[in-house]
Amino acid sequence: MALIFILIFAVTASAQAPISGYINGTLEDTTYSVEGYIYVAEGDSLIIEPGAVLLFNGDYQFIIYGYLYAAGTNSDSIIFQCADGVELWGTIVFNDNCDDNSVLSYCYITGCRLGGINCYYCDITISYCTITGNFASWGGGIYINTANPQIMHCVIYDNWCVCNGGGIYCTHSSPTISDCIIYNNSCNIGGSGSGQGGGGICANHGSNPTILNCTIYDNLTNDKGGGIAINDNSVVTMIECEIYDNWALHEGGGIYICYTEATISRCTISGNTTPNFGGGISMGWQANPTIINSIIESNNGDGGIYIDTSTTPSISYCDIFGNEGGNIIGDSLEPGLGEVTIVNANGDSCDIFHNIFLDPLFYDPTAGNFQLQEDSPCIDAGDPASGFDPDGTTADLGAHFYPQGAQPQLIYDLTISISDSSVLLIWGSIPDAFIYHIYRSETPYFETSGIQPIAYNNSPFFEDDNAVLEGLYFYRVTWE
C-alpha cells in the first residue's frame, strides 16, 4: 500500500497563450501564461483538456465560482505551476457558489503559497492528483472549510504549513479521503494554531472526515499528531489505513486525539515517534476513541498508546506489541486493559478485551510492507462480530488481511528492462492480487516453492537494484 510516485514534468519555453481575468469555454492542450488572477464566474463553465499547462507569472490565484472540469489522464496530466523565474503563485480556490460537480483529476499542483487547493462550502471531487511543494498557514496541500469534498487516489507530499495540517486541514467539514498517499508533509513550523498539529492531516472544529485505505507516513509536526491530529469535537472514522514513521515533537507520534471521538478500525500504526507521550497514539483530554481490529507496534516514545485520565477509550481485538515505554500507559487505565488473563479464539494469551501482545510478523515493515506472514498471530484474531474478511474467515488485525487458502499463481506477461544500475520488472496488474512475490535465480525453470522471494510488492512493477549486472539471471513473479 505504501507507494512512492516520482513525477518529473519539463515545460519548454515555447510559445505560450496569455490568459487573465474571467475565462470560460475550453482550455486546449497547450501552455498558458497566467498574467493575473483568473476566474470562472458563477453560472459559467470551464473545461481544461489533458496536457494543458498553466504557468503562473506571479502571485495570482485561480478562483472558481462556477463549474470547472479539469481532468487529465494517467499519461497526460494537467499542470499548475510557476513560470520560470517566479518563486511562488497563489492557489486554486473553490468558493461557496461553485458547482459541486466540479472536478480536478490527474492534475499536478505545485508552488502555491496559500495551499495547493482551497475548498469553501462546496462538495467537489479531487482524484488522481499530485499535490506537492505547496505551503500555507493552514493546510499546506489542501485546506477544507465547511465543505465535503471527495478526495480519492491522490498523492500529497512535501507540503508544509505554519500552523496545522501539513498535508490536509479541515475545519467544520466532512470530507471523504480514500486511497490516498500522504507523506513527508510538515506543520507547526514556526507557528501555532487552535487545534495544533497533524503533520499529515488535521481534523478540527467539529469536522467528520472519513479516511479509507490511506497510507500516511514520514510526516512531521512540531506539535501533536505526526500523522494525524483530531481535535475539538471532530468525529473521525479511519478504516484500513497505514500510519507509520511519522514524528511529533509534543505527543502522539502517529495519532493525537483530544476532546473528540474517533473510530480506528483495521489500521496498522507502526514506527511512529515522539519524545513525549504516545509513540503510536496519544489520547488527550476527553478523547473517546474506539480502536478495534488494529495493530499498534514498534512505536517510539512514552508508551505505544497513552491514555489521559479524562478519557474513556474502547480498545479491543488489537495487537499492541514492542512499543517503547510500554504498550499501554496512563494513570487510570480501565481495569483489565493490557493485563493478560485469558486466551483468544486462536489460543493466544490476551486481556479481557481480546487484545494480544505478540509480534504481528509483517513481511517487511522496514520497507513499508505490512502484509501479514502466514503464521502471524493477527490472522483470525479480530472481532467475530465485525464482519468477515474477503476470504470468508474471521477478521484479521491490521490494514491487510491474509488470504487463507489462496495458492500463488504465476505471472506470464513479465517484461524485463535492464539499465546500468538495476533491473526493472513490469507486468499486467491482477485486480484480485493481494500481493506479488518476486523471485530471482541463476538457473532457469526454477521452482518457487521452498525458496524465499527477494521481495514482496503491492504494485505490478519492481526495480531490482541488488542484482549484479554481469552474468545470467532469471526472474519469476507470482501473485496471490
Task: Kindly report the pTM of this predicted structure.
Answer: 0.86
- The total of other beta-carbon atoms located within 10 Å of residue 263's CB is 16
At residue 29, the pLDDT reads: 96
Map out the domains of the chain with their CATH numbers. Answer: 409-479 (2.60.40.10)
| Complete DSSP assignment for 357-413 | -S---EEEGGGTEEEEPTT-TTTT-S-GGG---TTSSSPPSSSS---TT---EE---
Name residues whose C-beta falls within 8 Å of residue 461's C-beta, 6 or more positions apart in sequence: 424, 425, 426, 427
- Would you state the cell numbers that stand for residue 242, as one nine-digit string? 497505514
In angstroms, what is the C-alpha Rg of the chain? 24
pLDDT digits (tens, 9 = 90+) for 300-354: 999 999 999 999 999 999 999 999 999 999 988 999 999 999 999 999 999 999 9
Residue 227 reports pLDDT greater than 90: yes
- pLDDT per residue over 152-170, tens digit each? 999 999 999 999 999 999 9
Q: pLDDT at position 328, please?
A: 98
Residue 452: what pLDDT?
78
Cell numbers of 41, please? 464566474
Distance CA 439, CA 452 (A): 8
The single-letter code of the amino acid at 424 is L
Grid cell 500481493 is found at 435
Predicted confidence band at 422 (pLDDT cuts at 50, 70, 90)?
confident
Among 265, 345, 337, 353, CA closest to 303: 337
Mean of pLDDT over the chain? 92
For residue 13, what pLDDT is reported?
45
DSSP letter, residue 146: S
Q: Where would I find the beta strands (DSSP E) of 60-106?
A: 62-64, 67-71, 78-82, 92-94, 103-105
Band the pLDDT of 1: cuts 50, 70, 90. very low
